[in-house]
Amino acid sequence: MTEKTTQPRVLIFDTTLRDGEQSPGATMSHEEKLEIAGLLDEMGVDIIEAGFPIASEGDFAAVSEIAKRAKNSTICGLARANYKDIDRCWEAVKHAKSPRIHTFIGTSPLHRAIPNLTMDEMAARIHDTVTHARNLCDNVQWSPMDATRTEDDYLCRVVEIAIKAGATTINIPDTVGYTYPMESAKIIRMLLERVPGADSIVFATHCHNDLGMATANSLAAVEGGARQIECTINGLGERAGNTALEEVVMALRVRNDILPYRTNIDTTKIMNLSRRVASVSGFAVQFNKAIVGKNAFLHESGIHQDGVLKNVETFEIMRPEDIGLTQKNLTMGKHSGRAALRAKLKELGYELADNQLNDVFVRFKALADRKKEVYDDDLVALVADEATMD
């Protein structure tokens, strides 16, 4: 099941270069950031959060250059709730065809205690800073950091203030990955019901993966009414990371019968981006990572291989080509059966008679018991030995 062009869109906001890069040790060079931004732009990401311009001269330079080069994506920069951050952010993003300022402040009781602001003082700060951002840029996103641990009444109050001050997108971050999917949907639904003007802006969801629920929470938020998902390639991000772009995009595509929304992403570019981000960030992708892990499309057990050889849909819910992967889906190991061996040998150019295949199969099993994976070269050697035995 794939999306239809008539379906409503969910916007994809990629923050690999901002929240992803905040992951300890994931720092990327200027050139690497430009390369990743170019690939995200080509892939069809709607909004690229390119960095935090006040954080360093390097971040400012990268956001400015990405803004100048972007062809299709909106380019966004992050700013805390003060004029200096917002001005610096604007200076960097203003070069884009479509610029956005994203400003935020922590609104939960724990976060309010840090700047030591009363609820009223914080509300006034939100009004002033969003108004200031909106005077610079037509496209302003506002985030109440730690929204999912903010009191409902206060969250409704500050979201209303931000909308009245001119925010065009309201992002609801689950900053510490604390939420359950049903709560994630409920928060967005509550805001849409209770906040005046909520139907005139876009709600975004921004989830962290501390309990492994970032993808489920993002999709639940869409069910609740969010129309922008914030995510990173490979789920890169602080601690357990952010929502993985490839997971939400492919989930929307594969289970479009459940959540009938389309994205603008060219999914065939996913694998290349995953590899480039893993390489430049130095964060390898775990083998069993959904969608982009090395094993995500590999079958080793005899039953699975046999099924896949007869009808690929028995054990695959999406095709490797959908994410731009050209690798073969059978890996040969001790769990592989005769049918898979025959198919693999055929792929390598050998069609053996049944008795020869039986001999090679016995020796293949013995080898597979000693080695984790049997490579193509090993199989070629087994066939060559068989030929000399005849």
From the annotation, which residues make up the binding site? 19, 206, 208, 242
Closer by beta carbon to ligand KIV, 172 or else 323? 172
In the complex, minimum distance from the CB of residue 210 to ligand KIV, in angstroms, rounded to a whole number: 11
Chain residues 176-215 in contact with ligand KIV, contact rule CB under 6 A: 206, 208
Q: Which does 205 bind (CB under 5 to 8 A by kind): Zn ion, ligand KIV, none?
A: none
Distance CA(348)–CA(371), nearest Å, equals 20
Token pair, residue 236, equals 């890169």
Site membership for ligand KIV, residue 243 (CB under 6 A): no
E strands, 15-116, in order: 47-51, 74-80, 99-106
Chain residues 12-71 in contact with Zn ion, contact rule CB under 5 A: 19
Q: Which does 143 bind (CB under 5 to 8 A by kind): ligand KIV, Zn ion, none?
A: ligand KIV
Contacts of 220 by beta carbon, 8 Å cutoff, 6+ apart? 181, 182, 184, 185
Q: Which does 263 bind (CB under 5 to 8 A by kind): Zn ion, ligand KIV, none?
A: none
Closer by beta carbon to ligand KIV, 143 or else 209? 143
Contact between 141 and 168 (Cβ < 8 Å): yes
Which of these ranges, 25-33, 170-178, 248-256, 325-333, lies near ligand KIV under the rule CB under 6 A? 170-178
Distance CA(54)–CA(62), nearest Å, equals 12
Which of these ranges, 169-177, 210-218, 329-337, 359-367, lies near ligand KIV under the rule CB under 6 A? 169-177
Site membership for ligand KIV, residue 145 (CB under 6 A): yes
Out of 103, 175, 209, 329, the residue judged to bind ligand KIV by CB under 6 A = 175
Tokens 């969010």 belong to 226
Query: For residue 217, what is the enclosing H or E element?
Result: helix 214-224
Closer by beta carbon to ligand KIV, 213 or else 309? 213
Phi, psi torsion values for 78, nearest 5 degrees: -100, 145
Contact between 174 and 238 (Cβ < 8 Å): no
Distance CA(267)–CA(269), nearest Å, equals 5
Token pair, residue 359, equals 């001999």
Three-state DSSP class for residue 140:
strand
Closer by beta carbon to ligand KIV, 40 or else 145? 145
Out of 19, 41, 65, 160, the residue judged to bind ligand KIV by CB under 6 A = 19
Q: Which does 111 bind (CB under 5 to 8 A by kind): ligand KIV, Zn ion, none?
A: none
100-128 burial string, b = 16+ CB within 10 Å, else e? Answer: bbbbbbbbbeebbeeeebeeeebbebbbe
Tokens 């389309």 belong to 262
Task: Report H helices in 1-75.
Answer: 30-43, 57-69
Q: Which does 129 bind (CB under 5 to 8 A by kind): Zn ion, ligand KIV, none?
A: none
Residues in the annotated binding site for Mn(2+): 19, 206, 208, 242
In the complex, minimum distance from the CB of residue 229 to Zn ion, in angstroms, rounded to a whole number: 13
In the complex, minimum distance from the CB of residue 32 to ligand KIV, in angstroms, rounded to a whole number: 21
Q: Which does 145 bind (CB under 5 to 8 A by kind): Zn ion, ligand KIV, none?
A: ligand KIV
By CB under 6 A, the count of residues binding ligand KIV is: 9
Contact between 49 and 15 (Cβ < 8 Å): yes
In the complex, minimum distance from the CB of residue 175 to Zn ion, in angstroms, rounded to a whole number: 6
Site membership for ligand KIV, residue 13 (CB under 6 A): no
Amino acid identity for residue 69 in this structure: R
In the complex, minimum distance from the CB of residue 253 to Zn ion, in angstroms, rounded to a whole number: 24
- For 117, 195, 252, 314, the CA distances from 152, given in Å and listed in that order, are 18, 11, 29, 45
Distance CA(367)–CA(361), nearest Å, equals 10
Sign of the C-alpha dihedral, residues 80, 207, 268, 27?
positive
Site string for ligand KIV, 72-111 (x = CB under 6 A): --------------------------------x-------
Query: For residue 341, what is the enclosing H or E element?
Result: helix 338-347
Contact positions vs ligand KIV (CB under 6 A): 19, 104, 143, 145, 171, 173, 175, 206, 208
Contact positions vs Zn ion (CB under 5 A): 19
